[in-house]
Copies of this chain bind each other. A is one copy, B any other.
Amino acid sequence: GAVHGDGDDLTVAEIANDPNTTPWTDPTFTGTTWPLNEVRLLTPFLPPKIVCIGRNYAEHAEEFGNAVPDAPILFLKPNTAVIGPGAEIKLPADSTRVDFEAELAVVIGSGGRDIPAERALSSVLGYTIANDVTARDQQEADGQWTRAKGHDTFCPLGPWIETVFDPSDVAIRSTLDGQPRQDSRTSLMINDVPALIEYVSAVMTLRPLDIILTGTPAGVGPMTPGQTVSITIEGLGTLTNPVGRR
């Protein structure tokens, strides 16, 4: 792997490959390593398709007065919304409330169609963190969530892909300017990762590097320019992004 160490002593190995090819499948390392805090990480990859799950934690559905759905609610974010760690989330002028939403992102490896839950995890390349940034007012106004969740910069992704990871029961937390906001566990998902892969792949073929955002727990809230949002998932690191204006 490219990331080594623990806590504040993380180092990253320099990858020789052209980032426009596919270094994540079989990277070549230059042999040089750097302390993580001395480099700027780029978006780990550009997903062809970003499939998202609405209301997959009961307490989050309830915080907006919504019922827990009978089946997963699917929606899509455009990949033009993706930004990397440290890049600025740009709030559009035509929204009065833009929220952070901490989510576990499943990165598809082999992918396919009609993948049963029992072998779903073997179709996964790895996991990363996503922020499903949402213009709450536009979400309510439009009914369809595409505009509210589709603005450029509304899908921070990273800090890297972790390939050895059990998604079933880890802590997922967010902070705004260092103050705790969301604090939950992935075990509280209504539909777990294997169930989501089965459900989504029964509708649409999953291709390599497609991602599934698995829903956000309770505690979401608005961001304002100048603030910084961080999402930490146990075992995956922390995704931090400053907030600015378009």
Contact = CB atoms under 8 A, between A and B. Distances in A.
A150 B79 contact: no
A144 B204 contact: no
B152 A113 contact: yes
A205 interface: yes
Given A54-B144, A144-B54, A144-B145, A76 B204 contact: no
B204 A78 contact: yes
A73 interface: yes
Given A80-B207, A81-B204, A204-B81, A74 B151 contact: no
Given A75-B144, A142-B74, A144-B145, A80 B150 contact: no
A48 interface: yes
Given A74-B150, A150-B74, A152-B113, A80 B205 contact: yes
Nearest to A206: B80
B78 A144 contact: no
Contacts of A77: 76
Contact of A152 (B75, B146, B204): B204
B74 A146 contact: yes
A73 B151 contact: no
A5 interface: no
A49 interface: yes
Given A73-B143, A73-B144, A76-B150, 4 more contacts: A74-B144, A80-B207, A144-B144, A152-B204
